[in-house]
């Protein structure tokens, strides 16, 4: 009976809500909101790079969904590494498809990932001739 109780406790600790959630959450997400229309911006390509020495290494890319989001931009299955990262929002392609001009064909946002157990959300508030960003949650 003691062995069964020990075994059950061991199995349950492996699948605890807090431990399971920590492992499953992707550390980097983005969101694009169109300031002109006030709606999410679908169809923007986004690239994630990590700085290594003086070079940037491409880690992943994605396209914003109907809600203007990419909820998991960090490569799946890779351990989160601290360091300097950048997300590049490919806004020129988006505006070209829309038939509208833009001053910023790409918007790079460089940030420091300094805690591997935290989530880093990078929202972009976008218009044709300006933008704003911040660390969200």
- Where is the binding site for substrate, in residues? 31, 69, 134
Alpha helix (H) residue ranges in the chain: 2-14, 17-24, 91-98
Residue 77 is given by DSSP the state T
Other Cβ atoms less than 10 A from the Cβ of 117: the count is 8
Torsion of CA 63, 106, 97, 33, to 10 degrees: 60
**Annotated binding site, which residues?**
31, 69, 134
Exposed / middle / buried, residue 104 (Cβ in 10 Å: 0-12, 13-18, 19+): middle
């Amino acid at each position: 009976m003691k062995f069964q109780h020990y075994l059950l406790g061991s199995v349950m600790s492996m699948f605890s809500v807090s431990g399971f959630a920590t492992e499953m959450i992707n550390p980097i997400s983005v969101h694009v909101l169109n300031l002109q229309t006030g709606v999410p911006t679908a169809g923007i390509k986004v690239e994630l790079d990590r700085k290594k020495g003086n070079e940037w290494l491409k880690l992943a890319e994605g396209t914003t969904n109907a809600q203007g989001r990419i909820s998991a931009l960090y490569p799946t299955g890779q351990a989160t590494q601290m360091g300097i990262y950048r997300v590049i929002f490919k806004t020129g392609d988006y505006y070209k498809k829309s038939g509208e001009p833009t001053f910023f064909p790409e918007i790079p946002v460089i940030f420091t990932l300094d805690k591997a157990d935290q989530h880093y959300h990078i929202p972009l508030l976008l218009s044709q001739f300006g933008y704003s960003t911040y660390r969200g949650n």
